[in-house]
Amino acid sequence: MEKLRLGVLGGGIMGAGIAAAFRRKDVPVVVYDIAPGGREMVERNLFREEVSGAEFTDQLSDLSECNVIIESVVEKIDVKQELLKAVEDVVSPSCLIGSNTSTIPISRLASVLQRPDRFCGIHFLHPVRNRKLTEIVCGEQTAPATLDQADAVLKSVDQTPLWVKDCPGFVVNRLLQPYLNEALILLQEGVDMDRIDNAAVSFGMAWGPVKTMDEIGIDTTFNAGRVLYEAFPDRITVSPIIVSLYKSKCLGVKSGQGFRVWDGSEPNPKAQKWRMWVEKDNPMPEQEIIERLIRPMWEEGRRILADGIVESAEKIRIAACDGLAFPTRFGYLFEQPDFQLNM
């Protein structure tokens, strides 16, 4: 394999995390971003990742020598397609182009490309430094050689590839969304957000679902949720709580305030208008909260398996445990046909 030179489209939290994963292996990286203050944002995010040496540019032409491109911009199909189409005109015909989209089907993104055979999903997980699993998503026109190249690229930076078929949300985010969705329902039922997060952490999750939404970004949660709602309207709820936060520009860690004020210890007073949709306080027992959060994940895992997105229940377990930090001692749930949670 020729010497890697990576181009990352988007210098936000995920883009910086991806860039850092390659810089730790001394791979030359060019980060492209046109946001106001883009260079400062990229440098700040890379500083958090404790790496340096990535180049910054606001000119697509500076990516012409890259042989791998990973797009990681806002989770909106029109924005992604416009940028992917533009970068395809800049790089060589042999360049591997991947999207870090968390929910948008790869085949839909590829529909604007001249070379969809060179395009696939390369979905890193947040936080990248702590999540070694990366989904490789095969679109309808993705060539087998492209998947093999993506696999080799990921292994070269110590990531563990999980090959999945194309669908909205793939595997990891199809498992994550019901967890977040149920947390929003619990909030609206009057269960305190600290009680929800503490129950999830007590179960063994690295983060509770409310903190997770703040960490990945309220905007990302909103946009990804919209994609999945359009795909699966029978089981995704449009929550007025997340809409309220999004419209208030309380975007979580990236903006310094979301459900909580970050450092993450106190509720965000600027975001409390969402409480107008909350019923009276609900002192729900911890065990019930845990079962409410986890059962929808298990149910979605069974649907993913039935849909043939991966070939075995073991792959669902791996996606949950290695991709979402689901507690390994409860990973057996995803390999059993009935929901039996033995705490």
CATH of domain 6-165: 3.40.50.720
Residue with tokens 């790869």, as numbered in its chain: 106
Q: What is the pLDDT of residues 23-33, one digit of tens each?
A: 999 999 999 99
Nearest residue to 307 via CA among 232, 237, 233:
232
> In the chain, where are the structural domains located?
6-165, 171-343
Full-model pTM: 0.93
126 part of the active site: no
The 3-class SS string of the chain reads CCCCCEEEECCCHHHHHHHHHHHCCCCCEEEECCCCCHHHHHHHHHHHCCCCCCEEECCHHHHCCCCEEEECCCCCHHHHHHHHHHHHCCCCCCCEEEECCCCCCHHHHHCCCCCHHHEEEEECCCCHHHCCEEEEEECCCCCHHHHHHHHHHHHHCCCEEEEEECCCCCCHHHHHHHHHHHHHHHHHCCCCHHHHHHHHHHHCCCCCHHHHHHHHCHHHHHHHHHHHHHHCCCCCCCCHHHHHHHHCCCCEHHHCECCEECCCCEECHHHHHHHHHCCCCCCCCHHHHHHHHHHHHHHHHHHHHHHCCCCCHHHHHHHHHHHCCCCHHHHHHHHCCCCCCCC
Beginning with the edge strand found earlier in the chain, give each strand of the sheet holding 119-123 in spatial order: 55-57, 29-32, 6-9, 68-71, 96-99, 119-123, 133-138, 160-165
For the chain, list residues with pLDDT below 70: 1
Domains 6-165 and 171-343 share a fold: no
At 1 the pLDDT is 58
At 64 the pLDDT is 97
CATH 1.10.3720.10 fits 171-343, yes or no: no
Annotated catalytic residue: which of 123, 174, 195, 211?
123
